[in-house]
Structure 1
């Protein structure tokens, strides 16, 4: 019987400490604060996702622009080489 009382006493002390700790950390409106914290995490996740998507789009645009510039330079070099090649005179 004494053991049951001791275990009940220890459990009630643990519950009281947990409640005091929760009251200290979260205040009287701990249910509301956890919902606010969850919403904050959701919005932070959305913001991070938006930044990552914008980075991917920017990287793709940069790669496309650089590839276009390189193709244009190669086309111009081919044109210059074509015009610079001397034409062989034909013998009559």
Structure 2
């Protein structure tokens, strides 16, 4: 009879420890998260990520359009006003130089 009491006591302690560990890991029974709650969190996280991506893409597009407008404006004003061209320094065209071309334009017959 005393052996049964020891076994019952050991089973009770084992069950109590298991309940404490599960409460520590997962919270109390009425506070434990359901699968539906985790799915809701996943969906909200995906929506927030999509909004962040759209914001980054929109910002990049607007900055690109502004840079293109700035480059077009500096080309139409002739580069005056201290504006630095976005694409780099322009190279002079061969028609704008006054030096004659050393290669002959006519072919020998």
TM-score higher than 0.5: yes
Q: Which residue of 1 aligns with 2:18?
A: 11
Q: Which residue of 2 aligns with 1:89?
A: none
- Runs of 4+, deviation exceeding 6 Å: none
Task: Provide the aligned C-alpha RMSD in A.
Answer: 2.6
Q: Which residue of 1 aligns with 2:60?
A: 56
C-alpha deviation, 1:15, in angstroms: 1.3
Q: Which residue of 2 aligns with 1:44?
A: 48
C-alpha deviation, 1:14, in angstroms: 1.4
Aligned-partner Cα distance in 2 for 1:10–1:48 = 44
More RCO (CA 8 Å, sep 6+): 2
C-alpha deviation, 1:10, in angstroms: 1.9
Where do 5+ consecutive residues of structure 1 fail to align? 77-92
Where do 5+ consecutive residues of structure 2 fail to align? 1-5, 81-109
Q: Is residue 78 of structure 2 the alignment partner of residue 74 of structure 1?
A: yes
Determine which structure has more spread, i.e. the larger CA radius of gyration: 2
